């Protein structure tokens, strides 16, 4: 038996049980090697449909097809053996009806072996959250700024700055919690509202640009690594990976042009695996 097989993977109920405890740590991940690196530090990895923008150069998440999410989902479940892997259902794959959502979410779970899926929307998706949860599919919800509705919002703006906006967002949180979601992402929600919702619902709130008041945090991995060309103001860059990549590529180009690489004595045998 491999050492990986002995590790117990974190489950959706484990994440739910963390409500009000030590903050939940999560990141997006789209590929096997970075998933393997992040695995021991995070509680869950989200294969976000932001991969359409980050990996594939789309302007929004709307063009991302189900098949692309499945391919990246598979890569991440192969790379991460401990963290819960949650995969985003892309635009158009779940909104039509609970039956459409179940068909596509079941395919996602069978083909990626992920432990949960995420859908955007509050009150309007509550029936679907209940339908999926009752049929074996753990659902993470996503409210506040929901990027798949960017054409309705008219841009990436903080939600809940005005008191008049609060009731609808609070109702969204309550509806999906009552429907059985195991956690909810609050994106770009103003701090006092994020704090109020976190107190009101009995499932963990995972903030992205929604303040310290949430039960946990998520960031797009490329943003916190310093790889994304443009990031929102709340993002802290914990690394300078973009600069490191450019530095390495320029050294490689210099070595090839100067005929310093490859060194003649080196063979194609593998070096020892990194710890
Ligand atoms: O697609 C994504 O990366 C997300 C996170 C921003 C929460 O939904």
What is the pTM for the complete model shown?
Answer: 0.95
For residue 116, the SS3 value is strand
Query: Is 33 inside a domain boundary?
Result: yes
pLDDT digits (tens, 9 = 90+) for 33-54: 999 999 999 999 999 999 999 9
Closest to 234 in 3D by CA, of 212, 204, 206: 212
Query: Is 88 inside a domain boundary?
Result: yes
Q: What is the DSSP string of 89-133?
A: PPTTSSSS-HHHHHHHHHHHHHHH--SEEEEE-SGGGHHHHHHHH
From the candidates 187, 222, 269, 273, give the one annotated as an active-site residue. Answer: 187
pLDDT digits (tens, 9 = 90+) for 65-93: 999 999 999 999 999 999 999 999 999 99
Query: Is 259 inside a domain boundary?
Result: no
Query: Is 254 inside a domain boundary?
Result: no
111 catalytic residue (yes or no): no
| The ligand 1 atom nearest the CA atom of 218 | 7
Query: How many of the other CB atoms lie within 10 Å of CB of 216?
Result: 22
Query: Is 266 inside a domain boundary?
Result: no
Nearest-CA residue for atom 8 of ligand 1 = 48
Average pLDDT value for residue range 209-227: 98
* pLDDT interval class at 265 (50, 70, 90): confident
**pLDDT for position 155:** 84
**pLDDT for position 5:** 52
Nearest-CA residue for atom 3 of ligand 1 = 48
In this model, does residue 3 exceed pLDDT 60?
Answer: no
Pocket residues for ligand 1 (CB within 6 Å)?
28, 46, 48-50, 88, 142, 185, 208, 218, 220
Query: Is 73 inside a domain boundary?
Result: yes
In this model, does residue 247 exceed pLDDT 80?
Answer: yes
Domain extent, residue 24, equals: 3-239
Judge whether 27 and 52 are in contact, CB under 8 Å: no
Judge whether 206 and 184 are in contact, CB under 8 Å: yes
What percent of the chain has pLDDT above 70? 97
Query: Is 80 inside a domain boundary?
Result: yes
pLDDT digits (tens, 9 = 90+) for 87-141: 999 999 999 999 999 999 999 999 999 999 999 999 999 999 999 999 999 999 9
Query: Is 222 inside a domain boundary?
Result: yes
- CATH number for 75: 3.20.20.60
Name the domain count of the chain: 1
For residue 270, the SS3 value is coil
**pLDDT for position 266:** 77
Mean pLDDT of the chain: 95
């Amino acid at each position: 038996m491999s050492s990986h097989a002995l590790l117990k993977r974190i489950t959706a109920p484990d994440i739910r049980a963390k409500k009000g405890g030590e903050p939940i740590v999560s990141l997006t991940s789209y590929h096997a090697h970075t998933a393997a690196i992040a695995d021991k530090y995070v509680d869950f990895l989200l294969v976000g449909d932001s991969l359409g923008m980050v990996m594939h150069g789309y302007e929004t998440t709307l063009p991302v097809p189900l098949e692309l999410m499945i391919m990246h989902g598979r890569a991440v479940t192969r790379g991460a053996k401990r963290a819960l892997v949650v995969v985003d259902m892309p635009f158009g794959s779940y909104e039509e009806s609970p039956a459409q959502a179940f068909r596509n979410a079941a395919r996602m779970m069978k083909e990626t072996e992920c432990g949960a899926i995420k859908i955007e929307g509050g009150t309007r998706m509550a029936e679907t959250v209940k339908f999926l949860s009752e049929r074996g599919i753990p659902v993470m919800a996503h409210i506040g700024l929901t990027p798949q509705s960017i054409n309705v919002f008219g841009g990436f703006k903080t939600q809940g700055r005005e008191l008049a906006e609060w009731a609808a967002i609070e109702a969204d949180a309550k509806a999906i919690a009552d429907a059985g979601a195991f956690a909810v992402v609050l994106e770009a929600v103003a701090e006092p509202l994020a704090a109020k919702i976190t107190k009101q619902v009995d499932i963990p709130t995972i903030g992205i640009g929604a303040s310290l008041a949430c039960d946990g945090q998520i960031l797009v991995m490329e943003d916190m690594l310093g790889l994304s060309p443009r990031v929102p103001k709340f993002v802290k860059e914990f690394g300078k990976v973009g600069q490191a990549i450019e530095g390495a590529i320029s050294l490689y180009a210099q070595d090839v042009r100067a005929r310093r690489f490859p060194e003649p004595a080196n063979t194609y045998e593998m070096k020892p695996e990194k710890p």
